[in-house]
């Protein structure tokens, strides 16, 4: 089986064209390495804000066995922001609680424009897909708000058991009924 | 007319197969009897996590005149969890505030994995359908969070007038415009 | 170019039939004039709760160059409440954070039935459409909760720059990445 696999997809016209360096993808990987006690293998992609490119990246990462794919970018209201539409077309079960909590955490952090974010999460076969903001400074705020529930979600969809680093994050698994 | 009718649908492969006894359905009935001052007739069903069975139960209970149908189970991210999809396919108007408040109440009760719940509510003709969690311990937390708005919702969709038990719950009806 | 244009659509069978005077539309205009330091031109419509009428009003106001259209009415669970369905059919990107925050603000204001509201916001070409409640007393509660993010949203969809009146509302624009 090997180590659990995690995918990271940076969705940005400019980063994919080399106009600037991708800072968001590395910020997500750094945060996840910090949260997780279980060693994981990371696979990263940088794609433009084009539905076909985003869809291909999500499908390939899910097919390669990633239990979690985090995207960054493309969740706002601007014309090129299409990440939520692609996720809805590719995935089967949207989990609105992720978007609610990520927006609420950003609002608490003093960002009233957090209500413009269309962040969400959804299931693609045995992969949990979570959309994170495009700004590196906002990524940790959002991940902190939802990470405690991610390992149990991966349990429920048949993925590998991920353990959190209790010094950093309190991963939660409810007791069986 | 007779007493107002309320339906309860336990959605669980194992409870419907007799692997264990249904505790969630009786927990919902007990909570509603506690909240309601108006005597009501309860009709209960136990079905597996199969779209056709869930759909038939919802349609039959709505057709039999239930003003409220509460479901329990099938709202998580696991492959067999299909309750929200069936509700969306059968009902006409989703009320996202129910899911928001039920998840928020579960989070306040110390359950970070509440964000994995896809609980919701929607309208089926003159029936309000509300999805509750599958765990008996979580049902009252969620119902407490939304019950004060349920009688007025039933007023708005043309159902019978339900009165709350003011010692238990503060049912709210806004003053007319 | 002229002044930025803002549309207001009162959606009400009774107001459009003259059964009572429209108070909600003027309440929205008064609130927006209070919030905005930028002089704007307002265009108002009163239509019945009929999908074709609502759709036509939204499309005409968007085509006339309105950067913002606020609707009032039709967001509840009653049979004639169809505003969210029309918005979803006409617009391209729903912004769930608006509904979440407007419901949360109404709940904080002591209205438990706020969870029955299906308020939302969405993008129609270069127009931000925001649904507000039908009751005049609730309009300011909801607008206060979301207005700080509206000018930046209009920036992102290519509209005119709106400045807030800092004595009344703290409009927020995040710093560039």
The bridge status of strand C5-11 relative to strand A127-132 is: unpaired
Q: How far apart are CA A125 and CA C3, in angstroms?
A: 50
Q: What is the maximal distance between C-alpha atoms in chain A?
A: 52
pLDDT of residue C175: 83
Q: Assign residue A64 a region: left if phi > 0, alpha if psi is -120 to 50, beta otherwise? A: alpha
Q: How far lies C148's CA from each of A89, B13, C40, in Å?
A: 31, 48, 17
Greatest Cα pair distance in chain C: 52
Residues of A within 8 A of C158 (CB-CB) are: 79
Task: State how far the Cα of A149 lies from the Cα of B100, in Å rounded to an integer.
Answer: 16
Q: Do B113 and A170 touch (CB under 8 A)?
A: no
Total-model pTM:
0.97
Distance CA C97, CA C119 (A): 10
Residues of chain C with pLDDT under 70: 1, 176-177
CA distance C137 to C142: 10
Q: Give the pLDDT of residue B1.
A: 64
Q: How many beta carbons lie within 10 A of that of residue A172, not counting itself?
A: 17
Closest by alpha carbon to A140, among A174, A177, A168, A176?
A168
Q: Show the low-confidence residues of chain B (pLDDT under 50).
A: none
ipTM of the complex: 0.96
Backbone phi, psi, residue C8, to 5°? -130, 125
Residues of chain B with a CB closer than 8 angstroms to some CB in chain C: 93-98, 100-101, 123, 128, 146, 148-149, 152-153, 156-158, 170, 172-174, 177
User: Which domains does chain B show, CATH number per domain?
Assistant: 5-156 (3.40.980.10)
Q: How far apart are CA B122 and CA B87, in angstroms?
A: 7
pLDDT, one tens digit per residue, over A60-76 is: 999 999 999 999 999 99
Chain C residues closer than 8 Å to A98 by CB = none
Chain A contact set for C127 (CB, 8 A): none
Cα C131 from Cα C134, distance rounded (Å): 9
Distances, alpha carbon A133 to alpha carbons A21, A22, A71, A87, C17, in Å: 16, 13, 8, 15, 46
* B-contacting chains (≥3 CB pairs under 8 Å): A, C
Res A177 pLDDT > 60: no
DSSP class per residue in C87-154: HHHH-SEE-HHHHHHHHHHHHHTT-GGGGG----EEEETTEEEEEE-SSHHHHHHHHHHHGGGHHHHH
Residue B70 and residue B32 in contact, taking contact as beta carbons nearer than 8 Å: yes
C108 Cβ neighbours under 8 A, 6+ residues apart: none
**Residue B52 has which token pair?**
């056709």
Interface test with A, best of B10, B75, B77 (most A CBs within 10 A): B77
Average pLDDT over residues A94-103: 98
**Which two three-digit tokens encode residue B133?**
């969690």
B170, with CB counted inside 10 A (0-12, 13-18, 19+), is exposed
pLDDT at A19 over 80: yes
């Amino acid at each position: 089986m090997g180590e659990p696999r995690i995918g990271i997809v940076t969705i940005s016209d400019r980063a994919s064209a080399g106009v600037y360096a991708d800072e968001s993808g590395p910020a997500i990987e750094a945060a996840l390495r910090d949260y997780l006690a279980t060693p994981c293998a990371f696979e990263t992609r940088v794609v433009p804000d084009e539905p076909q490119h985003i869809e291909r990246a999500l499908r390939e990462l899910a097919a390669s066995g990633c239990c979690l794919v985090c995207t960054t970018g493309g969740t706002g209201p601007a014309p090129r922001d299409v990440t939520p539409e692609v996720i809805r077309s590719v995935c089967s079960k949207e989990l609105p609680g992720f978007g609610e909590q990520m927006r609420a955490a950003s609002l608490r952090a003093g960002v009233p424009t957090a209500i413009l974010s269309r962040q969400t999460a959804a299931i693609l076969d045995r992969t949990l897909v979570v959309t994170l903001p495009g700004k590196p400074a906002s990524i940790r705020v959002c991940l902190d708000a939802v990470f405690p529930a991610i390992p149990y979600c991966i349990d429920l969809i048949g993925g590998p058991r991920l353990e959190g680093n209790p010094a950093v994050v309190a991963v939660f698994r409810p007791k069986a009924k």
